[in-house]
Amino acid sequence: MQRVIIHVDMDYFYAAIEEREDPSLKGKAVVVCMFSNRGESGGAVSTSNYIAREAGIRSAMPCKLARSKNPDAVFLPVRKKFYEEVSSNVMEILRSNADNEDAFEKISIDEAFLEVTESCKGDYSIAEEIGMRIKEEVRSSEKITCSVGIGPNKLISKMASSYKKPDGITVIKPEDVTDFLKPMPVKKLWGIGKVTENKLSEMGIRTVEELSGRDVMELISVFGKNKGMWLKQTASGIDENPVKERTATDQIGRMASLKNDTRNEDTIFSLLEELMDDVINKTVKRKVSFRSVTVTVIFSNFKTSTKSRTLNHAVNDRHILNENAKQMMQRFLEESDLNFRRIGVRVGNLQESTGQRSLFDF
DNA sequence: TCTCCAAATATACT
DNA sequence: TCAAGTATATTTGGAGA
């Protein structure tokens, strides 16, 4: 049977939660920011509500620039922990509407796929009812809205949900897929960002229709086999990927800005300690050990460099993280005379902690 | 020459 | 101009079969 898949995307999630918590924000431009350690204006926009967007405020925009676009907007710091709680409430609602426990896939804090092939027996009008029910349940239980997309695969449902926002629902039946995609700029395809957009543009490709008409071999010659084939399929609306629970993340990291650009070791290492503490705490909470350690430096000219190291076996040990991260950071100081702007530390190759250390750890 | 894996960079998303 | 943070994907390059 043809699959029927629903994608749910919360509307301006962080800002919507803040509005809900403080009704006096209603009607105002609300901008949720990730502030750096550099005072009032340093940092970037995470999410903004639609009033703010009307002023041209966008995700990832420097807060300073956002403020200049609308000086009356309310700027709030992100409260990630809190949003995560709201998120897990929402996810429970979504999961309960899927065919079964496994027919659910959370893809980020505010988005998920659910398969409803069996519940609706391939009937899109029933799928739409399920979509409406989800919207209603989320609204009444969490007082926020979401947008829903329904289609024959993840790609199409994902793109459908962003078609009408906020508080929208869009149904794309298999026979409508081609017309739906045709006129879209390639940038709208899920997985195509600025870089790929530019490359395509150089090839004279701007719309999905133009992309789908190109020869696969030509795409492969420019993008390599994997991406070339993926582009061709995606532009044709084909996506066979199943809806399935994501395996827990494979990496945990933290990154932060220094108060000022510097190469002062005390300053750098004390921030690094903080970041490592956070990372270790997260691994302990998730009961995982790690086998690789990566250190990132963003220099004052915004060039980014990383160093990483893989250990012989997985550990969950603050001192081992400490030693490795510090050594790599030291190397950065030796290799470059630029100031540091931001630094980060990340552990990867995570695996379930056994709780006991092996002999090799000594 | 192929395959695996570690290291580093690129890309995407909010 | 100003310029955050988290995570995954892709590419590169070396070692061993």
Say if residue A14's pLDDT is above 50. Answer: yes
Give me the mean pLDDT over the A123-133 stretch: 97
Please, what is the average pLDDT of chain A?
92
Query: What CATH number does the domain located at A182-235 have?
Result: 1.10.150.20
Distance in angstroms, CA of A139 to C1' of B10?
A: 38
Closest-lying nucleotide for A34 based on CA to C1': C4
Distance in angstroms, CA of A175 to C1' of C5?
A: 40
Structure confidence at residue A355 (pLDDT): 54
Q: What pLDDT band is residue A359 in, cutting at 50, 70 and 90? A: very low
Q: Note the pTM of the prediction, 2 decimals.
A: 0.90
A269 touches strand B (CB under 7 A): no
> What distance in Å separates the CA atoms of residue A346 and residue A293, rounded to the nearest whole number?
6
A285 touches strand C (CB under 7 A): no
Q: What pLDDT band is residue A178 in, cutting at 50, 70 and 90? A: very high
Which A residues 149-208 have CB within 7 Å of strand B?
190-197
Q: Give the pLDDT confidence of A76-99 residue by residue, as tens digits.
A: 999 988 999 999 999 999 999 999
Distance in angstroms, CA of A192 to C1' of C8?
A: 14
A336 touches strand B (CB under 7 A): no
Give me the mean pLDDT over the A227-244 stretch: 89
> What distance in Å separates the CA atoms of residue A33 and residue A46, rounded to the nearest whole number?
5
Distance in angstroms, CA of A106 to C1' of B6?
A: 30
Structure confidence at residue A89 (pLDDT): 94
Active site residues of A: 111
Q: Name the CATH superfamily housing domain A5-12+82-176.
A: Reverse transcriptase/Diguanylate cyclase domain (3.30.70.270)
Phi, psi angles (nearest 5°) of residue A317:
-145, 120
CA angle A301, A306, A308 (to 5 degrees): 165
Closest-lying nucleotide for A253 based on CA to C1': C6
Structure confidence at residue A360 (pLDDT): 47
Domain boundaries, chain A: 5-12+82-176, 15-79, 182-235, 251-361
Biggest CA–CA distance in chain A, Å, is 64
Query: What CATH number does the domain located at A15-79 have?
Result: 3.40.1170.60
Say if residue A354's pLDDT is above 80. Answer: no
Structure confidence at residue A90 (pLDDT): 95
Q: What pLDDT band is residue A222 in, cutting at 50, 70 and 90? A: confident
A190 touches strand C (CB under 7 A): no
Class of domain A251-361: alpha beta
A115 touches strand B (CB under 7 A): no
Name which residue leads in pLDDT, A194 or A151.
A151
Which nucleotides of strand C lie under 7 Å from a protein CB?
1-8, 10-11
Say if residue A153's pLDDT is above 50. Answer: yes
C-alpha A277, offset from chain centre: 23
Say if residue A356's pLDDT is above 80. Answer: no
Say if residue A151's pLDDT is above 90. Answer: yes
Closest-lying nucleotide for A37 based on CA to C1': C4
Give me the mean pLDDT over the A29-47 stretch: 89
